[in-house]
Amino acid sequence: MKKKIFKILSRFNKKVLPSYSKKRLDLQKASKLQMAIIGWKFWVTKHALD
């Protein structure tokens, strides 16, 4: 059940949140909000793959 929730969240993230890798965002120049979004997407993806 937990894994299924993370997979749904992962699909939601992909559709709604911006993709900074496609925009070639430099992590050194990223704002705190952008870093928070990157961290959130990483955390959800990590749990969806476990």
pLDDT beyond 80 at 50:
no
pLDDT mean over 16-43 = 90
How far apart are alpha carbons 50 and 46 in whole angstroms?
A: 7
Residue 44: its pLDDT value, please? 93
Counting Cα atoms < 13 Å in the Cβ hemisphere of 6 gives 14
- The neighbour count for residue 45, using CB atoms within 10 Å, is 15
Residue 2: its pLDDT value, please? 85
Radius of gyration for the alpha carbons in the chain, expressed in angstroms and rounded: 12
3-21: pLDDT as tens digits: 899 999 999 988 998 888 8
Whole-structure pTM value: 0.80
